[in-house]
Amino acid sequence: MIHPIPSGTRDVLPEETREVRAITDTLRGVFERHQYGEVYTPALEYESVLSRADMAEARPAYRVFDEAGAVLALRSDMTVPIARVVASRYAGSEPPLRFCYFAHCYRGVRPQRGQSRELLQAGIELIGSPAPEGTVEALTVLCHALDAVGLRDYRIGLGDASLFPALMGSLQVREEVRRDMLEALVRRDFVGLEHKLADSGLSDEAAALLLEVPQRRGGPEVLSDAPPPAVEPVTGMRRVHERLDPAVAERVIFDLGLVRNIGYYTGAVFEVYDPALGSPIGGGGRYDELLARFGRSLPAVGFALGIDRLHIALAGEERGTGALLARSSARSEEPGAVGDGSVPASAHAEGRPTAAGTKGNRAEGA
């Protein structure tokens, strides 16, 4: 007899658990080498704490009452809990502060392959390091982590959360139209964006600009001839790119239409893409105003990786599992082999993720 489990959840069996642990152990080693200390926070937080951040589509979806009648919620990411920790437990500590985590988060998403309502995330938060230096460090750690687990074909899209709002503000776009446009950009729905612009009442010239700019994606050439409202965000993106090591910089593509559906981002935003998966593996960005909502104003940046999605991408890049499992077996017989820079990724049975990626929720990230 099969006893069902809730939609959007799944059982993880021993073989996959071994592979997931190899991934997380490798990531943990990279984070520790970069001096990020691991933290744990409660899965349940007071809803009033979590609501201090504009989580947009990643807002907490599961709520309960405690014995005193207070509303609790399951965390939907780790950035907000760590902001609370910094404000309450590190009030006297000098920045920068570096934290990493491996934690389950909970979101009311439509379940898909690689997109569950209970998701395991790994990530870092760098508190007190301004742009561009802090952004450069976060991107560097991200690349080192992905390289260490053996992902080969990934690229990182780099944008700025302030760019499109600045454009819309300069053109006096109505608030309700702004929301519709941003939602279309989150979905990468340029046809939908064009329809929204057609009904916006804007001039043909303004509508053409708002449709053209977010489709700029590629190398440094896409930063040229930026319209005046976009000059400051574009300049910030260029400064970050100029400071990256060449091996990291070659992984980065500029994406002027990158909009993440977590509302606390204020500057640079980025997402990780891989051809083996139809949705981002992870992402992050700057949230320079979030800590102030907890009583301590500090610049901050971070990222999160979805472990299920990373696992799928690794399996897809290998084009099969025989070599991966053989490599895993060989390493398991060697002392200290876990975290040596490559990890196994098995084929996924029914009910487990597969390499056939689908375009999913883009809220994965710090």
Task: Quickly list DSSP for 296-310.
Answer: ----EEEEEEEHHHH
Q: What are the tens digits of pLDDT across the range 87-96?
A: 999 999 999 9
According to the model, what pLDDT value does residue 244 have? 98
**Confidence band for 358, pLDDT divided at 50, 70 and 90:** very low
According to the model, what pLDDT value does residue 139 have? 99
Averaged pLDDT of the chain: 86
Q: What are the tens digits of pLDDT across the range 300-349?
A: 999 999 999 999 999 988 643 333 344 455 555 544 433 334 444 443 33
pLDDT average, residue stretch 18-44: 97
Helix ranges restricted to H, the chain: 14-33, 47-50, 79-89, 133-149, 163-170, 175-186, 190-198, 204-212, 231-243, 246-249, 307-318, 322-332
**CB atoms closer than 10 angstroms to residue 306:** 31
**Confidence band for 60, pLDDT divided at 50, 70 and 90:** confident
According to the model, what pLDDT value does residue 57 have? 61
CA angle 271, 365, 34 (to 5 degrees): 85
pLDDT average, residue stretch 107-119: 80
Residue with tokens 């069996």: 13
Output 362 or 360, whichever has higher pLDDT.
Answer: 362
pLDDT average, residue stretch 204-209: 93
Residue 270 carries which side chain, given as an amino acid letter?
F
According to the model, what pLDDT value does residue 52 have? 86
pLDDT average, residue stretch 279-293: 96
| Domain 17-155+260-366 homologous superfamily, CATH | Bira Bifunctional Protein; Domain 2 (3.30.930.10)
For residues 136 and 223, give the distance between their C-alpha atoms in angstroms, rounded to a whole number.
18
- Report yes or no: 274 and 259 within 8 Å, Cβ to Cβ: no
For residues 43 and 135, give the distance between their C-alpha atoms in angstroms, rounded to a whole number.
27
DSSP character string of 126-171: EES--TTHHHHHHHHHHHHHHHHHT--S-EEEEEETTHHHHHHHHT
Q: In this model, does residue 39 exceed pLDDT 50?
A: yes
pLDDT average, residue stretch 25-44: 98
DSSP character string of 176-198: HHHHHHHHHHHTT-HHHHHHHHH
If DSSP codes are grouped into helix, strand and coil, which group holds residue 207?
helix
Q: In this predicted structure, which of 62-71, 137-146, 171-180, 318-327 has the lowest mean pLDDT?
A: 318-327
For residues 191 and 336, give the distance between their C-alpha atoms in angstroms, rounded to a whole number.
52
Return residue ranges of the chain for CATH 3.30.930.10. 17-155+260-366
- Report yes or no: 114 and 310 within 8 Å, Cβ to Cβ: no
Q: In this model, does residue 63 exceed pLDDT 80?
A: yes
**Confidence band for 114, pLDDT divided at 50, 70 and 90:** low
Q: Model's pTM, two decimal places?
A: 0.86
According to the model, what pLDDT value does residue 330 have? 54
> From residue 227, how far is each of 164, 191, 211, 316 by CA, in Å?
11, 22, 13, 39
For residues 210 and 116, give the distance between their C-alpha atoms in angstroms, rounded to a whole number.
33
Q: Sign of the CA dihedral 73, 258, 140, 87?
A: negative
Q: Mean pLDDT highest for which of 4-8, 99-103, 104-108, 188-192?
A: 99-103
Considering the chain, what percentage of its residues have pLDDT values greater than 90? 67
For residues 314 and 291, give the distance between their C-alpha atoms in angstroms, rounded to a whole number.
35
For residues 361 and 311, give the distance between their C-alpha atoms in angstroms, rounded to a whole number.
17
